[in-house]
């Protein structure tokens, strides 16, 4: 069961550049395309004629044309025309509220009448020229909530990402979790430590010494239905850590939009928004490459974890203090699901 009356990232704009895009979100098969004036539209991926997937068709004059027999559909899910046929009596298919904002395409899988674009989570880094963003997309075969667990407990970095962002000091630093309404915040702060390889690279690319002691921070933010944004960074030690001046730190936001596909799979839109050298395209590419490798390590672990959970469904999982962020996030999802079902 999924939270359907909510905004999810469905795609990146370049995925719609050449042809319609078929994608399953929250168990619903959808097709995304650019209609009249280039505006993004989304309808069921089902032709009312013979049930063919409309995503195998094409767009012509703003209409979505089925690639099987040529039925043209409008962005509201109504049949418009078909060679040699009258289409007035054809049943309509479901259409979805969709919005293009912040460099992503967002969809509301539930009741279209309740969809308010003003409730899309504001992303300051996407509209502020002082920030730069680079990211990608992975399809991951696990319950989307396992990814939320993973991102709200960064203890795993010490082990899964030992060669890039992991270090033993993460284990040793106290972890704090608190709630602000439906917002979960889990944080760690480390002082006077050695920067791991990824952050040494970031310091070097920001014209800062990479081999001196640093203060490091990780502040994970969960927002329903399934977004995790993580403030991360390092600063030369002794300058205030998280509050240090920009001149002595490299700071970023790890961007994680986790969109359920099925009960055991999801679309993972990952990236990093950084607050230093925003105009450096080479740095953006280098960080994207490094992040891609890191998140691929997560994918391997999570997919194997999902298989274990399916194999032994009767086994109860432990809940430790380091798991508090994920546990609280799941409780919020469960409460919102109960309200949706009421």
43-72 per-position pLDDT tens digit: 999 999 999 999 999 999 999 999 999 999
Which pLDDT score, from 0 to 100, does residue 342 have?
A: 84
Among 97-101, 164-168, 242-246, 302-306, which is the least confidently predicted range? 164-168
More confident residue, 163 or 118: 118
Place of tokens 């899910």: 77
Q: How confident is the model at residue 76 (pLDDT cuts 50, 70, 90)?
A: very high
Domains annotated for the chain, with CATH where assigned, are 8-119 (2.102.10.10), 124-341 (3.90.380.10)
Return the percentage of the chain with pLDDT > 90, whole number.
97
Which pLDDT score, from 0 to 100, does residue 146 have?
A: 98
Sign of CA dihedral 249, 203, 102, 265: negative
Both structure tokens of 275: 């607050």
Instruction: Give the integer Cα–Cα distance in Å for 326 and 228.
Output: 11
Both structure tokens of 115: 């969809």
| Mean pLDDT, all residues of the chain | 96
Mean pLDDT on 21-42 = 96
3-class DSSP assignment, residue 90: coil
Q: How confident is the model at residue 41 (pLDDT cuts 50, 70, 90)?
A: very high
Angle (deg, nearest 10), helices 281-311 and 144-152: 120
Q: How confident is the model at residue 257 (pLDDT cuts 50, 70, 90)?
A: very high
Both structure tokens of 159: 């082990």
Mean pLDDT on 207-223 = 97
Which pLDDT score, from 0 to 100, does residue 173 have?
A: 94
Q: Answer whether 270's CB lies under 8 Å from 295's CB.
A: yes
Instruction: Give the integer Cα–Cα distance in Å for 42 and 259.
Output: 16
Which pLDDT score, from 0 to 100, does residue 47 have?
A: 97
Mean pLDDT on 93-100 = 98
Q: 281 pLDDT exceeds 90? A: yes
Which pLDDT score, from 0 to 100, does residue 203 have?
A: 95
Q: How confident is the model at residue 1 (pLDDT cuts 50, 70, 90)?
A: confident
CA distances from 236 to 63, 115, 207, 273, 277 (A): 56, 45, 12, 20, 17
The DSSP code for 63 is E
Q: 227 pLDDT exceeds 90? A: yes
Q: 18 pLDDT exceeds 90? A: no
- Straight-line distance from the first to the last Cα atom of the chain, in angstroms, rounded to the nearest whole number: 13
CA distances from 284 to 26, 38, 227 (A): 31, 28, 22
Which pLDDT score, from 0 to 100, does residue 206 have?
A: 94
Q: How confident is the model at residue 149 (pLDDT cuts 50, 70, 90)?
A: very high
CA distances from 335 to 10, 26, 185, 221, 224 (A): 24, 17, 18, 18, 11
Mean pLDDT on 141-159 = 96
Mean pLDDT on 33-52 = 96
């Amino acid at each position: 069961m999924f939270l359907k009356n909510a905004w999810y990232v469905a795609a990146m704009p370049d995925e719609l550049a050449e042809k319609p895009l078929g994608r399953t979100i929250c168990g619903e098969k959808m097709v995304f395309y650019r209609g009249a004036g280039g505006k993004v539209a989304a309808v069921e991926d089902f032709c009312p004629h013979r049930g063919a997937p409309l995503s195998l068709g094409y767009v012509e004059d703003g209409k979505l044309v089925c690639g099987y027999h040529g039925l043209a559909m409008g962005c509201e899910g109504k049949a418009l025309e078909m060679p040699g046929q009258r289409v007035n009596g054809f049943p309509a298919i479901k259409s979805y509220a969709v919005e293009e904002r912040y460099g992503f395409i967002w969809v509301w899988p539930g009741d279209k009448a309740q969809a308010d674009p003003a409730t899309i989570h504001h992303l300051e880094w996407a509209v502020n020229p002082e920030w730069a963003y680079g990211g990608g997309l992975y399809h991951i075969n696990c319950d989307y909530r396992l990814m939320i667990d993973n991102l709200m407990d960064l203890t795993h970095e010490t082990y899964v990402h030992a060669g890039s962002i992991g270090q033993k000091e993460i284990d040793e630093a106290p972890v704090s979790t608190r709630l602000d309404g439906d917002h979960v915040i889990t944080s760690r702060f480390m002082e006077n430590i050695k920067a791991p390889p990824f952050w040494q690279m970031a310091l070097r690319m920001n014209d800062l010494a990479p081999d001196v002691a640093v203060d490091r921070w990780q502040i994970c933010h969960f927002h329903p239905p399934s977004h995790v944004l993580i403030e991360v960074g390092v600063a030369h030690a002794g300058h205030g850590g998280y509050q240090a001046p920009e001149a002595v730190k490299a700071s970023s936001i790890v961007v994680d939009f986790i969109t359920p596909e099925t009960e055991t799979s999801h679309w993972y839109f990952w990236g990093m928004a950084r607050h230093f050298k925003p105009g450096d395209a080479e740095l953006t590419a280098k960080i994207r490459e490094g992040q891609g490798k890191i998140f691929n390590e997560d994918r391997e672990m999570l997919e194997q974890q999902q298989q274990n959970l399916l194999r032994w469904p009767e086994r109860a999982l432990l809940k430790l203090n380091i798991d508090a962020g994920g546990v609280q996030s799941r409780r919020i999802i469960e409460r919102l699901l109960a309200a949706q079902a009421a």
